[in-house]
Amino acid sequence: MPFELNTKIKNLTPYEPITGDYRIRLDANESFVRPNPEMAQKILQAVEAVDLRRYPDSCARELCRSFAAVYGVDPELVTAGNGSDELISLITNAFLQKGDALLTLEPDFSMYAFYGSLAEAESVILEKRPDFSVDVDAIISTAREKQARLILFSNPCNPTSLGIPAAEVQRLAENTDALVVVDEAYMDFYNQSVLDLVPRYDNLIVLRTCSKAAGMASLRLGFAVANAVLTKVLRAVKSPYNVNAVSQAIGRAVLSDPAYVRAGIAKIIVSRDALLESLWGIEGNYPQEFQVLGGNCNFMFCKAARAEEIFEYLKQQSIIIRNFGGFLRITAGTEAENAALIEKLEAFLGKATSQEPL
């Protein structure tokens, strides 16, 4: 008899990011900040010191210590992962059993529900309010009604760029017996982290990444911060050498210089705020065509009447952003990249609203 795929995987298709050679990429929320000469040299020296013959430190202890020093947490409560994606997969598979309810929000990062499906969890999706804000009371009541074992969401949110106050996240943790996992991938651009609350709760895990503010997306470095009991579980269920030695070495080199990390974040925020001002200007000129909905991350989330047309037009100009079907997500880039984007966006909307040929 022929081998048959099981139901949970038979219709899966690989995740396909936008590929191609474009002069401006504002689609993946990556940092535009390149290492300065001093940091570049430090990274080179760190890589040269790696002994490629040997397995890496299984617990990435020095890397976790460097991360903990930057964010003011206990390194014994930090687990390193091969990107936050690995940690999300580990959490859903470790803390959920077949049939358990996983509560996620919509819209939010699509991979949460995907990893839950691989764990054969029951998917409970709670729609956000029409303005994409989060109703924490609705989360609490839905979690109780559906007996959710795990609640997973991003704060601030990808893709909406809207955030939840830390006090509301704390209220959620205190009013549910579910495990609350808060993905703070973009919290370096917001100021409502609950990292400091982790030791106080037995049902809270906070995720962080080096792919955004720290400018190390290519290394795939993520961190889970939780109390001692949850941390022990995470370290037990992860694979023994999940973070390779080169990523550990470069991560230590960057994170061991908190001033460098903070300077990079500051540059991104300046770019984000400048782009936000320019996009508000476009909204003012074309209020029926374009509205800015959120900007608490290193990207903006915008409603666009001609989102598909804008996406394709910018693509033709070798500028890539993300199209979410009626909405656009635009990453903050360099000053020149932002200026090019705004110029082309203005040109498109000017012609589109005047019925001139594009």
DSSP character string of 253-299: HHHT-HHHHHHHHHHHHHHHHHHHHHHHHHHHH-TTTEEEEE-SSSE
Residue 323, beta-bridge partner list: 328
Q: What is the pLDDT of residues 172-199, one digit of tens each?
A: 999 999 999 999 999 999 999 999 999 9
Asked whether the bond before 156 is cis by omega within 30 degrees of 0, the reply is yes
Give the alpha-carbon dihedral of 72, 78, 80, 85, to 10 degrees.
-90
Spell out the alpha helix ranges (H) of the chain: 37-48, 61-71, 83-95, 111-118, 136-146, 166-174, 228-237, 245-255, 258-285, 307-316, 335-354
CATH class, 24-30+260-354 region: alpha beta
pTM of the predicted protein model: 0.96
- Is 49-256 in CATH node 3.40.640.10? yes
3-state secondary structure 16-38: CCCCCCCCEECCCCCCCCCCCHH
Q: What is the pLDDT of residues 230-260, one digit of tens each?
A: 999 999 999 999 999 999 999 999 999 999 9
Question: What is the chain's length?
Answer: 358
| Res 115: pLDDT | 96
- Domain borders along the chain are 24-30+260-354, 49-256
